[in-house]
């Protein structure tokens, strides 16, 4: 709809692609999704790359029984469907956790652009590899860790990602509800809740619904890495 370098792109993780894309004439569409609305569904062929401008989108693996498992939360500045080029139909469904603005960059446009500029190819590969590393990190987050550690790690991760784009702050707004957090961490919402109150009782954090303040980041980090 708009020019790809409109206000906010400088904080967007895809900005480099956008800049290169502008050179090659990349067309970028922006869409708005409401809470609960899917960006793409499991089984569909994903033809585009989704860059989250604002809001939060969860990627859900619906193949694993029940209501599926959340494999990733993508927040402002992050990119979705990076590994979709590997398998024709997507294995995940992407659902907005809250109202979100998303840039949609068609894959063939990206590929076009990357043909003319090898640097784009390189950036792209690094982004894909990074997405893989993040999957490994969330693996480390849930395996061998008990509930308190997982929750601590989750908070630290959210803070780090929030600080990557905002000014350094310890005030955190969690876009998703407890059930989603629990799902993502392989726990139950009750357990997550207990951990929150537990950490709050120790004065490491302060919780008020979706607002969390990190009071003792160091101590939290100590808990995460096996207190």
Partner DNA sequence: CGTTGAGTTGATGGAACTCAAATAGCGTGG
Partner DNA sequence: CCACGCTATTTGAGTTCCATCAACTCAACG
| Binds 177: which of its own copies, DNA, none (CB < 5-8 Å by kind) | DNA
User: Least distance from C-beta 224 to DNA, angstroms?
Assistant: 13
| Nearest one of 27, 50, 46, 52 to 112, comparing CA atoms | 27
Give me 111's structure tokens: 């590929």
User: Least distance from C-beta 183 to its own copies, angstroms?
Assistant: 8
Contacts by residues 112-117 (CB-CB < 8 Å, ≥ 24 positions apart)? 112/24, 112/26, 113/17, 113/20, 113/21, 113/23, 113/24, 113/26, 116/23, 116/24, 117/20, 117/23, 117/24
CA distances to 29, 40, 85, 86, 198 from 128, rounded to whole Å, are 21, 19, 10, 11, 37
| Binds 82: which of DNA, its own copies, none (CB < 5-8 Å by kind) | its own copies
| Binds 121: which of its own copies, DNA, none (CB < 5-8 Å by kind) | its own copies
User: Least distance from C-beta 99 to DNA, angstroms?
Assistant: 12
Using the rule CB under 8 A, is 116 a contact of its own copies? no
Q: Is the dihedral of CA 40, 184, 53, 164 positive or negative?
A: negative
Using the rule CB under 8 A, is 91 a contact of its own copies? yes
Instruction: Catalog residues that contact DNA under the rule CB under 7 A.
Output: 146-148, 177-179, 186-194, 196-197, 207-210
Measured distance between the N- and C-terminal CA atoms of the chain, rounded to whole angstroms: 50
User: Least distance from C-beta 181 to DNA, angstroms?
Assistant: 8
Using the rule CB under 8 A, is 132 a contact of its own copies? yes
User: Least distance from C-beta 97 to DNA, angstroms?
Assistant: 11
Question: Which positions touch its own copies (CB under 8 A)?
Answer: 61, 64-66, 69, 71, 82-87, 91, 114-115, 118, 121, 124-126, 128-133, 135-136, 138-140, 142-144, 186, 225-226
């Amino acid at each position: 709809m708009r020019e790809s370098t409109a206000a906010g792109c400088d904080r967007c993780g895809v900005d480099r692609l956008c800049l290169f894309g502008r050179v090659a004439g990349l067309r970028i569409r922006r869409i708005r999704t409401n809470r609960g609305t899917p960006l793409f569904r499991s089984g569909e062929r994903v033809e585009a790359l989704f860059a989250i401008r604002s809001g939060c989108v969860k990627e859900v693996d619906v193949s694993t029984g029940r209501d599926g498992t959340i494999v990733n939360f993508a927040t402002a500045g992050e990119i979705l469907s990076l590994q979709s080029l590997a398998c024709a139909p997507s294995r995940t469904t992407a659902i907005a956790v809250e109202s979100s603005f998303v840039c949609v960059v068609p894959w063939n446009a990206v590929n076009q652009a990357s043909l003319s500029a090898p640097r784009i190819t390189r950036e792209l590969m690094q982004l894909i590899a990074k997405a893989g590393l993040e999957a490994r990190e969330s693996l480390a987050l849930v395996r061998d860790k008990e509930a308190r550690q997982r929750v601590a790690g989750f908070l630290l991760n959210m803070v780090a990602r929030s600080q990557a784009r905002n000014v350094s702050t310890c005030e955190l707004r969690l876009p998703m509800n407890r059930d989603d957090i629990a799902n993502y961490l392989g726990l139950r919402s009750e357990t997550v809740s207990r951990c929150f109150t537990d950490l709050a009782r120790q004065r490491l954090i302060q919780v008020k619904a979706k607002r969390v303040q990190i009071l003792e980041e160091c101590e939290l980090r100590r808990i995460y890495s096996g207190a």
